[in-house]
Amino acid sequence: MKLLVTGGLGFIGSNFIIKNLAKHQDWEITNLDAMFYGSNNKNLKRIENNQNYKFVKGNIVDNNLIKKLISENEIIINFAAESFVDRSILDAKPFLDSNVNGVFTILENIKNSEKKFLHISTDEVYGSLTKESAKENFRFNPSSPYSATKAAAELLINAYQKTYDCNCMITRCTNNYGPNQFPEKFIPKSIILANLNKKIPIYGTGKNIRDWLFVDDHCDAISSVLEKGESGKSYNISGNNEIDNLTIVNKILSLMGKSTDLIEYVEDRPGHDFRYSMDSSLIRNEIGWKPKVEFEKGLEKTIQWYLDNKEWWQEYFNIILEDMPWKKES
């Protein structure tokens, strides 16, 4: 089976490629990545000589390149996205280019064909929730430029599905954590700052709630949807680990034997959603997927990975130290 994976040098994409090349000897994966912010070629260093893996540097808005690569592959999985919410507040244009125009380019090249397209989306399209958990038909209510572009991409996919009979599926996942996650993200940033005995910025009160899923479980869910998912459907992928940010940092500090004095409360970012929550009964009941990694076990594994791989994140030191990145140019 031949797959085109876009954004495969990022966090989730790289984990997906490594996991599935090891599992499926008959898979041939072409990885298209523009090597923009958040990509890291170290993520796939271990497989660069794998005969079933090919890397292509390029952008998903490049129509000629996308047309060629899609013609050579049976399945397209789109991980490519600008995903740093704080930076979408600073400058939304790169998010529109990648997250909307990039998806449009893919759709234009699969319409009226039998190519299978799986788009990786986010729980953030539903916006902030109070007590309920969003099912797949829940209304979109994005709060940030990032989540608005992800919602727009989904609407475009649904329109192409209906108009051109495209073979499309969408997965929406809760917050991921694990090895290879860009160190600006909340959990790796907290781990690295704790290791350096530097202050860990907590936005607002720290009571914002996210549902956490270990990246291996997410990759398994994506593979399950590829195998058993139904064209035209969207699938929520959740970990059932709703935890507020302050509790997460306290867990990290406890596991690392560090003092809570490292916590520093800073100004909250604009439009900061209070709670994300999804109902993933559809994928559990229809496809049979469920998460395997308990949160604390996954967190321990993640902490150890960042402690063992300092050379991986040291080049991002200045980014890690930024406490409110939406306020200044990177």
- CATH classification of the domain holding 205: 3.90.25.10
Q: What is the mean pLDDT of residues 209-223?
A: 98
Asked if 136 is an active-site residue, the reply is no
162 domain residue, yes or no? yes
What pLDDT sits at residue 156? 98
Residue 37 pLDDT class (50, 70, 90 cuts): confident
Q: What is the mean pLDDT of residues 150-171?
A: 97
Q: Give the other-Cβ count within 10 Å of 272's Cβ.
A: 15
The residues pairing with 265 across neighbouring beta strands, listed in sequence order, are 202
Same domain? For 34 and 156 the reply is yes
Give the residue numbers spanning the domain of 308: 181-210+241-271+294-324
- Provide the 3-class DSSP secondary structure of residue 30: strand
Is residue 14 pLDDT above 70, yes or no?
A: yes
What pLDDT sits at residue 316? 82
Same domain? For 68 and 206 the reply is no
Is residue 197 pLDDT above 70, yes or no?
A: yes
Alpha-carbon gap, residue 34 to 65, rounded angstroms: 12
Contact 2, 72 (CB under 8 A): yes
Contact 102, 59 (CB under 8 A): yes
Is residue 324 pLDDT above 80, yes or no?
A: no
Asked if 123 is an active-site residue, the reply is yes
28 domain residue, yes or no? yes
Given 53, 126, 146, 203, which residue is catalytic?
A: 146
Q: How much is the mean pLDDT over the chain?
A: 94
Is residue 252 pLDDT above 50, yes or no?
A: yes
What pLDDT sits at residue 36? 86
C-alpha closest to that of 60 among 94, 27, 17: 94
Can you give the pTM of this predicted structure? 0.95
Q: What is the mean pLDDT of residues 116-140?
A: 97
pLDDT tens digits for range 42-63: 999 999 999 999 999 999 999 9
Asked if 146 is an active-site residue, the reply is yes
Q: Which two tokens stand for residue 15?
A: 């984990």
Contact 76, 110 (CB under 8 A): yes
Number of domains in the chain: 2
**Gap between the terminal Cα atoms of the chain:** 40
Given 28, 123, 216, 217, which residue is catalytic?
A: 123
288 domain residue, yes or no? no
What pLDDT sits at residue 326? 66
pLDDT tens digits for range 264-293: 999 998 888 999 999 999 999 999 999 999
Residue 330 pLDDT class (50, 70, 90 cuts): very low
C-alpha closest to that of 268 among 121, 97, 108, 144: 144
58: which residues sit within 8 A by CB, 6+ positions away?
32, 33, 34, 65
DSSP 164-190: H--EEEEEEE-EEESTT--TTSHHHHH
Contact 80, 33 (CB under 8 A): yes
Given 33, 124, 184, 216, which residue is catalytic?
A: 124
